[in-house]
Amino acid sequence: MSRRSGILEFAVLGLLRESPMHGYELRKRLNTSLGIFRAFSYGTLYPCLKTLVASGWLIEESGSAPDEALAASLAGRRAKIVYRLTADGKEHFEELLSQTGPDAWEDEHFAARFAFFGQTEREVRMRVLEGRRSRLEERLEKMSASLARTRERLDDYTLELQRHGMESVEREVRWLNELIESERAGRDQRRPGPDSPAPERDSAAGGTSSGTTNSSTTGDTDGLPRLRGSSGGSPPEAPGQPDPSGDTTP
């Protein structure tokens, strides 16, 4: 399995964990929620879905009422197929979420992992963020050394392009620093001190007297920084991202 198809399978499982969908809905969510998949086609998605079904991680269900399915059959049309995550599929996705190896730090895989940080444990998020930062700092060091060696041989436009690439990496490193510090601050806030009183329970609501509520997902997502100059929480586009104008192959 190629790295690209592995990322797609991860994203499909993550979206279907939220709710069952048919192929068109799934493709739309991949396009709108995960920009790295904005250029792939049905010819890529459906083989991926078939592979996940064959692996026992998804099941196919009829998405239409019985009379609508019969009408579609009589008209020679295919009834809509809804894809649902199985118990094994959920377990497999949770295993993927817990992985923090070097693949999770690469450009495309990191973007997909970050999109599902709301379902990821805090300690795993920290390891992925720190690994990504380390990878970018290594990249920045190599870019700087290369620029120092070749500066005299480059024309003004190529030199400006090199500088632009370095600024993009530096910007993402600063963004990662903010996220990491925010994750640490959130963790420290939740670690009670030796003299801290236990939170009072509200017997009527079943919560604490402070009005806080538990997250409905696996991850703990509060405390993320408000990014300066950005209205969204998605990572800056790293240098070397694929051109979205072409189709994607599994």
Backbone phi, then psi, for 107, in 5-degree steps? -50, -60
Which three-class secondary structure state does DSSP give residue 60?
strand
- pLDDT for 5 equals 74
Separation CA 179–CA 168 (nearest Å):
17
- Candidates 22, 18, 38; CA nearest to 30 is 38
The overall average pLDDT reported for the chain is 76
Q: How high is the pLDDT of residue 151?
A: 86
Spatial CB neighbours of 37, under 8 Å, sequence gap ≥ 6: 8, 11, 30, 31, 248
> What pTM was estimated for this model as a whole?
0.67
pLDDT at 32: 79
Q: In the chain, which residues have pLDDT < 70?
A: 1-4, 35-42, 63-79, 187-250
